[in-house]
Amino acid sequence: MNDDAQVLALLHALDRLPGPNHLQFPNGFDHTAAMVRATRLKERLTEDFRHACELDDHINDASYSFHIVLPAEAPRPARPWECG
């Protein structure tokens, strides 16, 4: 069996393993909770930058679920960011 056939056989074997009822998210991923966190982050960035940020939640075929767009006209936050 050549390498391509071995890889294909492995992928098919992995497809047959028990797992989530869907293949879009890994086991245990809470999409609703992630959306709440992303929305809070967008709101915080909008407040800090004093310009409306956009939340894109229509991401397909990627290793992330959300994308936040910061406006170019808002280069500085209204207050220093706090880490921790």
* Contact between 26 and 34 (Cβ < 8 Å): no
For the ranges 18-22, 25-29, 32-36, which has the lowest average pLDDT? 18-22
Q: What span, in angstroms and rounded, lies between the C-alpha atoms of 4 and 69?
A: 40
Q: Residue ranges per domain, the chain?
A: 3-69
pTM greater than 0.75: no
* Contact between 68 and 55 (Cβ < 8 Å): yes
**Averaged pLDDT score across all residues of the chain:** 81
- Residue 4: is its pLDDT beyond 70? yes
